[in-house]
Amino acid sequence: MFTLYIWGILTFGLGLAYLLLIHYFLWHWRQLPPPAPPDAKTIFPAYISVMVPARNEAEAIGDCLDALFQQNYPKTNYEVIVIDDYSTDATPEIVQEYRQPGLRLIKLADQGQEATAGANKKKALEAGIAEAEGILIVTTDADCIAPPDWLAMISAHHREEEQAFIAGPVAFHREKNALSRFQSLDFLGTMLLTGAGIHAGWMHLANGANLAFPKKVFEEVGGYAGIDHLASGDDMLLMHKIAKRYPRRIGFLKSPIALVRTEAKASWRAFIQQRLRWATKSSAYQERQVTAVLALVFFLCWAILLSPLLLFFYGPAAIIIPGILLSFKVWADYRLLREASRFFARPELMRHFWVSQGLHIVYIALIGLWSNLVKEYEWKGRRVR
């Protein structure tokens, strides 16, 4: 029974640490002021270059470009550069059909770039940024839809705050099943953590579907040099490099009207491959506090999954341990996700909280373990090791 007592203390400490961490992030999220809506006085008049790396996105690239050319921003003040990453479908042909001024298509195949299974997205972005005429670089993905005031929000925020890096919110939409609803709810929570971590000043998260930085800052930190061996990390790893040089000039667009939307992965296989790709870059994080937070969540999920085994050794008295762990996590996550879903006007997703909670525990435990053991996944039809 003494061993069970020790396990109980450790369990309580682990669960309490998670609960306090989420409370801390919620506090910072509420302290983070939303940016003022853009108007003619706050729009930054400088030229913006929007980067859209694309590989085999024939089904989505049209909607993406339509949204980009319907921006409430002066048409003469921005350009859109699509960088084709050796697409084997009609992606480049669809882009060429557009007759929009300010739209350019760059093909990596025409640039002498070697097609690799690794960091081709970074190569695509580097190729686009090298030819960009804007002083502010904005990136999104070819399967994303930007809201009408997106560029206006980014430019106004950049002008007011003089940020070296701006992270924006990303969310899933058009959910079709339980898996996609789980991803939507989970990702809204991630957006809250992203904004809160940036406001706290010590945990920098970002998503390449919605971020911006001055071109000169990108050049000052050497672009993707040092992180160009990884298929993922064009967002967070670049952010960490910039945050190291400009720790007080990192911002987050806490606004639903700056929310870029995309569709969740439709199948379990696609979902697992995506999360493996995200997880494999964690070993390259320059900010060890990010790794520490991920490790806390990983160990908590495994503790919840394994603690019922104590029943075989200590009998019914051991039921308190999984009970404590689950109670701490459920209460913390409920508060986090309720706040995020309300802010981003998706409160109906909370009806799926219990299913999502179970899926979250299992996927964090398994993907975290798999990404550290296997380090191999499929992305855009390429096998990455």
Q: Are 381 and 56 in contact (CB under 8 A)?
A: yes
Q: Summarize pLDDT for 47-98 with one digit per residue, the tens.
A: 999 999 999 999 999 999 999 999 999 999 999 999 999 999 999 999 999 9
Q: Which amino acid is at 317?
A: A
Residue ranges of domains in the chain: 2-28+288-384, 35-168+206-266
Report percent pLDDT > 90 for the chain: 69
Average pLDDT over residues 98-120: 80
Give the single-character DSSP code of 378.
E
Q: Which of 45-54, 158-167, 272-281, 321-330 has the lowest mean pLDDT?
A: 272-281
Question: Cβ contacts of residue 169 below 8 Å, gap of 6+?
Answer: 191, 194, 195, 210, 252, 253, 254, 255, 256, 258, 259, 260, 344
Residue 228, burial from CB neighbour count under 10 angstroms (0-12, 13-18, 19+): middle
CATH 3.40.50.300 applies to domain 35-168+206-266: no
Rounded CA gap, 159 and 35, in Å? Answer: 12
Is residue 274 scored above 90 in pLDDT? Answer: no
- pLDDT band of residue 117 (cuts 50, 70, 90) is low
- pLDDT band of residue 42 (cuts 50, 70, 90) is low
- Evaluate if pTM is beyond 0.75: yes
Rounded CA gap, 81 and 324, in Å? Answer: 52
